[in-house]
Amino acid sequence: MKRVRLVVAYDGTHYHGWQIQPGRVTIESELNEKLTMLLGEPIQVIGASRTDSGVHARGNVAVFDTEHRMPADKICLALNQRLPEDIRVQSSEEVAADWHPRKHRCIKTYEYKIMNRRIEMPTQRFYSHFCYFHLDLDQMCRAADILTGEHDFKSFCSVHTQVTDTVRTIYSLDIRRDEEDMITIRVTGNGFLYNMVRIIAGTLIAVGMGQIRPGEMEQILEARERRRAGPTAPARGLTLIEMKYVD
């Protein structure tokens, strides 16, 4: 028996998120089905990040156990021949038998994209949130600076979050605009609460529109109330970029 770690990229547009759901097609169900076919034994992957419906990934991580003799580093190549074209395993490697993707210290990076122009570009509609109103990037960056560091992010997570510890550390929160008016919010941290990145994005959009002042971020954090932050930005603009394990 060996444990294999996968780095998985996918376009989440046509999936009901990562986690298996009865009667729905998910990233996890596709991996389980195709790995079972490939290896000839029942396979159930364990994912690191349970992304929501419509969220994309370039570097999600999963593991599974197998008795098959196929070398671990060859599994990704064989598996990709069976997966739908909107899911691709970037790498596969053998890891320790007790290695678990949700129990090791990890630094996660997400990007949220906002198409900020007068008329929407249809080729980007599944990968960005369209905002007609011009966003003030300087104000958004001022607000982002306040969120950087260790804080209690209870105001920036779904009210349905069941975790008791809502303190997280954001190592960097950068915002840039390219020549085609695509704004990218890139955030790296030691972990994120449910919908935390999308709520941060929605709040920063509200700042950019002048609905929230940058200085109000401190009061929003201190309030520890979801209703004080901005709206939850749509899932399609969010991509899990990387999960970097540090031990």
* DSSP codes, 146-198: HHSEEEE-GGGS-TT---S--EEEEEEEEEEE-TTSEEEEEEEES---TTHHH
- pLDDT, one tens digit per residue, over 71-93 is 999 999 999 999 999 999 999 99
* Helical (H) or strand (E) element with 78: helix 72-80
Report how many domains make up the chain.
Answer: 2
* DSSP codes, 90-156: EEEEEE-TT--TTTS-EEEEEEEEEE-SSS--GGGTTTSEE--SPP-HHHHHHHHHHHSEEEE-GGG
Residues 119 and 188 grouped into a single domain:
yes
Contacts of 40 (CB under 8 A, 6+ apart): 68
Of 44, 74, 93, which residue sits at a domain end?
A: 93
The whole-number average pLDDT for the span 18-36 is 97
CA 144 to CA 130: how far, in whole Å? Answer: 20
Residues 113 and 46 grouped into a single domain:
no
- CATH number of the domain bearing residue 9: 3.30.70.580
Residue 171 known to bind ligand: no
- CATH number of the domain bearing residue 172: 3.30.70.660
Q: What percent of the chain has pLDDT over 90?
A: 95
Q: Which domain holds residue 190?
A: 104-243
Residues 22 and 55 grouped into a single domain:
yes
Kindly tell me if the per-residue pLDDT of 120 is higher than 80.
yes
Residues 172 and 207 grouped into a single domain:
yes
- Average pLDDT value for the chain: 96
Contacts of 119 (CB under 8 A, 6+ apart): none
Residues 225 and 130 grouped into a single domain:
yes
Kindly tell me if the per-residue pLDDT of 146 is higher than 80.
yes
Residues 80 and 118 grouped into a single domain:
no
Residues 68 and 20 grouped into a single domain:
yes
**Does a structural domain hold residue 36?**
yes
Kindly tell me if the per-residue pLDDT of 166 is higher than 90.
yes
**Residue predicted with more confidence, 164 or 130:** 130
**Residue predicted with more confidence, 96 or 164:** 96
Residues 126 and 211 grouped into a single domain:
yes
**Does a structural domain hold residue 66?**
yes
Residues 179 and 234 grouped into a single domain:
yes
- pLDDT, one tens digit per residue, over 28-52 is 999 999 999 999 999 999 999 999 9
Residues 44 and 148 grouped into a single domain:
no
Question: Is 52 marked active-site?
Answer: yes
Residues 53 and 150 grouped into a single domain:
no
Kindly name the residue from 11, 52, 86, 181 that is annotated as catalytic. Answer: 52
Residues 36 and 120 grouped into a single domain:
no
Please give the model's pTM, rounded to 2 decimal places: 0.95
**Does a structural domain hold residue 128?**
yes
